[in-house]
Amino acid sequence: MITIRTRVLGSLVGAIFGLIVGEQLLAQDQPPDPANIRGWTNRIERALMEGKSDVALQEINKAIEQAPLRSQLYLIRGSLLFRSGKIQESLPDFDKVIELDPQLKPYLWQRGIALYYAEKYEDGLDQFVVHRDVNPNDVENAFWHFLCAVKLKGVAAAQKDVLLSGRDTRVPMMQVQDMIQGKTTPEAVVAASERGRKLEKGNDYDRFYGYLYVGLYYDALGNKAEAKKWMEKCVDQEITGYMGDVAKVHLDLLSNDVQSKDSKSESGKPEKK
């Protein structure tokens, strides 16, 4: 039989143990040191998955205050801002990386994507051209270069001037490159992406990339309905990481565009008497 004294002692020991464990967990959840770039990268990924990007932004702001000359912190913050849908706000950070560390410019494909969405297409072209120097077998780079070119000179001219990638072994990347050259169809890209066994959500990168680039391609052609259809299928794959968030940002923009057009259409209708 347990006495009252035993219960009290047990409660005190439990409370003390709980405080110790709580302090340890709290310490483990403290923001990393500004020099711990891997720690910050992991922390930002976790924050995005948990819907805590605003908290992470406050933390990375403090880290930059402590280490204002550490270029990779600006890359991390710029990426966080873009992936949170704050496109214009992300660009100064990507540019700051180059200011502090000019040799990093060819590696900043994230900057190129942000430039496209910010409608700075000439700068986007330049970024993707220099990125090919360090990543020559990346069809994604060729695709984003193509998107910028379409905005500047139209689809037909852009198809003749694709920044060709070397052999990209990911499915369905080579079909994607053929598509932007006008050599194959979006249907062929989808077929290639769906040829393999369907994997559970979060792991099916073939379908994710196929749907993503077909959706973006239809958007470049001006077919918003098809673009939205494929971007929804893309986002439904629940792929995490940078490109998963790019898909969400693009779908949000498409959805806002459709809503805006619907509102204008409704406002133009005559009132019923």
The Cα angle at residue 76 between residues 71 and 78, in degrees rounded to 5? 95
Domain co-membership, 179 together with 122: no
Looking at residue 101, its pLDDT comes to 98
Residue 196 is classified by DSSP as: S
Looking at residue 257, its pLDDT comes to 77
Q: Examine the fold and report which residue of 128, 143, 160 is the final residue of a domain before the chain moves on.
A: 128
Residues 6+ apart with CB under 8 A from 246: 83, 113, 212
Residue 51 lies in a domain: yes
Domain co-membership, 117 together with 175: no
Q: Examine the fold and report which residue of 76, 104, 128 is the final residue of a domain before the chain moves on.
A: 128
Contact, 192 vs 210, CB < 8 A? yes
Domain co-membership, 117 together with 176: no
Locate all alpha helices (DSSP H) within 30-108, ordered by sequence. 37-49, 53-66, 71-83, 87-100
Domain co-membership, 47 together with 124: yes
Domain co-membership, 181 together with 120: no
Looking at residue 37, its pLDDT comes to 95
Residue 21 lies in a domain: no
Looking at residue 270, its pLDDT comes to 54
Domain co-membership, 186 together with 118: no
Looking at residue 260, its pLDDT comes to 58
Residue 142 lies in a domain: no
Burial class (CB in 10 A: 0-12, 13-18, 19+), 100: middle
- What does the alpha-carbon distance between residue 201 and residue 236 come to, in Å, rounded to a whole number? 8
What pTM was estimated for this model as a whole? 0.85
Residue 30 lies in a domain: no
Residue 188 lies in a domain: yes
Residue 148 lies in a domain: no
CATH number at residue 76: 1.25.40.10
Domain co-membership, 112 together with 175: no
Residue 1 is classified by DSSP as: -
Question: How high is the mean pLDDT in each 10-residue block of the chain (273 residues)?
Answer: 42 40 46 94 94 95 97 98 98 98 98 98 98 98 98 98 97 98 98 93 95 98 97 97 98 83 55 49
Domain carrying residue 236:
169-255
Domain co-membership, 116 together with 181: no
- What does the alpha-carbon distance between residue 269 and residue 273 come to, in Å, rounded to a whole number? 12
Burial class (CB in 10 A: 0-12, 13-18, 19+), 5: exposed
Residue 239 lies in a domain: yes
Residue 213 lies in a domain: yes
Domain co-membership, 44 together with 124: yes
**Number of domains forming the structure of the chain:** 2
Q: Please, how many CA atoms are within 13 Å of residue 53, restricted to the half-sphere of its CB? A: 16
Contact, 125 vs 157, CB < 8 A? no
Locate all alpha helices (DSSP H) within 105-223, ordered by sequence. 109-117, 121-134, 139-153, 155-159, 173-180, 186-193, 205-221
Looking at residue 111, its pLDDT comes to 98
Residue 68 is classified by DSSP as: T
